[in-house]
A and B are shown apart, each in its own frame.
Chain A
Amino acid sequence: MALEALRVNRLRSALTMFGVVIGVSAVVILVAIGTGAKEAIEGEIAGLGSNIILVVPGQVGLGAAPTQSRLDLNDVAYVRRVVGDPAKVTVAVNSGESVRVGRTEVFATITGTDEYMPNIFERPLRRGRYLSGTDVDTRRRVAVLGAEVGEKLFGDVDPIGRQVTIAGVRFRVIGLYESVGATFGVARDQEVHIPVTTAQRLIGLSRINGIAVGASGPDEIEPLRQRVVDGLSGRYPGERFSAVTQTQLLGTIGSVLGMLTGVLAAIAGISLLVGGVGVSNIMLVSVRERTREIGLRKALGARGRDVLGQFLIEAVLLTTIGGVIGILLGVGGSLLIQALSPVPAAITWWSIALAFGVSAGVGVFFGVAPARRAARLDPVIALRAE
């Protein structure tokens, strides 16, 4: 019966549904993008390796000023003693430098590190080998190129054994990384790894930027982090050191992105609300138009709640049909965005369920007022209406 009423006014029903369709598909698409971004970034963090603790001087937090590092290689040796296993600790000194081959020049992040880097950060090599202990100890001028640096400088040519000039100093290429993409906007494919000792001389620094510790299991992370921070704080009284774990990073980023997704969903929700107002409006018009019908139904024995039910069902039908179409459009749109743009989109069942539930709820909420008006009509007056 309700379906029939909607069919009778096809154009109007379609236009009314349109608002709900847009609202629901917007919710599904925006939540999919938000969730996709979150998953992608979490995937990147997890892709760094597992159970990593990053030790940096100063306090880490959003809005905290960067602190001048006073850590040096002696501190790395100290942390190695604290951790107990030297192979589980690595170091980083970073500097942006130009890398040149012949006339081709690219700008790259030079990372000075040591042979233990691969133990902590998972990153496959495409060609050659990684830095060795000897490379670090003897301050060799050897370099492992990020995928993008390698491709820009050498194209398809195998770079192993060839020369590159970093900040005016010649290095021999010993390894080439696989492409890994960016993490937090840091283009890791634009990195060049060289021995930390060589890097300190090249840049003219005795400091290091950070220490990374690999825990052997998730349960070990927290005690290990505490030990490293306590040890360093004891070594440099009055200074602060921070150790950030992946879990913390995931947590922080997850909550930020979760909030973002929530805001997007809320914006989409507003359009759903507007769609609901449209439904309410149309149902009111419909009640007015069908006053005679309502009067007749009442004369024939329809009780108030029969009429209420009839109009509520129509409103809910209107919004749920709109909701289903919106979900289909939203899923289709998300897949299309996924396919045609670099924006990741992850369709979540909860956003679909929520969108559907909300659209049905919108029908009830915005259908109640018109339906009650219909139910309360006086049959005598309603029958007389023209």
Chain B
Amino acid sequence: MIFEEAGVPAFEAVNLTRSYRLEGVSVDALRGVSLRIHHGESVAIVGPSGSGKSTLMHLLGCLDRPTSGTLRVDGADVSTLDDAGLAELRNKAIGFVFQSFHLLGRTSALDNVALPLVYRGVGRAERRERARRALEAVGLAHRLDHRPSQMSGGEQQRVAIARALVGDPKVVLADEPTGNLDSRNGQEVMGILADLNTARGVAVVLVTHEREVAEAARRQIHVRDGLIERDTVSGTGPR
């Protein structure tokens, strides 16, 4: 992974701001954030609620556009892309894991996992094959045809991780991935994310307000009041 650090970073943000207009009042959620996250890194973005960490994650995930500043995702300047281009970038470069899993309720695990490949134009047989492998990788080979309602929270989050993985992304963005799980399932999910990072070299960016979860990552970026407060490398977590 060392040689990749010298190359194009996964995320490169320069002086990002994001303000919203809420009933005529301008709210600055981010007030100038610069950071660089390299391929293969393990990063936690930490901060209390309202600190701007979610806004930062939405920007990094290309779900939203900055008000000002420059953001490059895998070398591509986001401001040069139209909405369809952003969608393609999300599809190819980023895997999402959400706090509330966000699985399609009446759809099997297999089809849930295969969903990102639908928007990449992958044929049905290949989609299912790749989805099956992704589910095996998270230890759910026996749950292919189960629906989310037939699975535990931990299993659902593992399906979501499989879905994030299926498209071979550069980065997995996990927004409070353990927020809806008990500690045992939470640890399991964190273990899978750590494996992903070490074994596959996928950069994992966690967004969390839990210190314990944050410490599982090697680098912590503390966000407060729309600014980066501290950027530390703890060394206890995986790289």
Contacts and interface: CB of A to CB of B under 8 A. Distances in A.
Contacts of B106: 4, 8
B104 A293 contact: yes
Contacts of B91: 300-301
Nearest to B84: A303
Given A293-B104, A302-B87, A379 B119 contact: no
A380 B119 contact: no
A299 B84 contact: no
Shortest beta-carbon contacts, A-B, top 7: A301-B91, A301-B119, A303-B87, A303-B84, A300-B116, A296-B102, A379-B63
B92 A301 contact: yes
A299 B115 contact: no
Contacts, number: 57
A93 B26 CA distance: 95
Given A4-B106, A293-B104, A304-B83, A299 B119 contact: no
Interface of A: 1, 4, 8, 292-293, 295-306, 378-380, 383
A297 B96 contact: no
A380 B63 contact: yes
Contact of B119 (A4, A293, A300, A378): A300
A2 B69 CA distance: 40
A380 B102 CA distance: 13
Given A292-B102, A383-B98, A383-B102, A300 B84 contact: no
Nearest to A293: B104
B110 to A, nearest CB: 14
B63 A383 contact: yes
Nearest to B91: A301
B61 interface: yes
Nearest to B107: A4
A9 to B, nearest CB: 10
Given A4-B106, A292-B102, A300 B63 contact: no
Interface residues of B, number: 24
Interface of B: 58, 61, 63-64, 83-84, 87-88, 90-92, 96, 98, 102, 104, 106-107, 115-116, 118-120, 163, 167
Nearest to A299: B96
Contact of B63 (A4, A292, A297, A299): A299
A304 B90 CA distance: 13
A106 to B, nearest CB: 73
A378 B87 CA distance: 12
Nearest to A386: B100
Contacts of A378: 64
A1 B118 CA distance: 11
B115 A300 contact: yes
B22 to A, nearest CB: 12
A126 B124 CA distance: 73
A298 B102 CA distance: 12
Contact of A300 (B58, B64, B83, B163): B163
Contacts of B90: 298-301
A290 to B, nearest CB: 9
Contacts of A379: 63-64
B174 to A, nearest CB: 13
A373 to B, nearest CB: 15
Contact of B83 (A293, A297, A303, A383): A303
Nearest to B120: A301
A298 B86 CA distance: 10
Given A4-B107, A379-B63, 7 more contacts: A298-B90, A300-B91, A300-B96, A301-B87, A301-B116, A304-B83, A380-B63
A297 B107 CA distance: 13
A185 B119 CA distance: 66
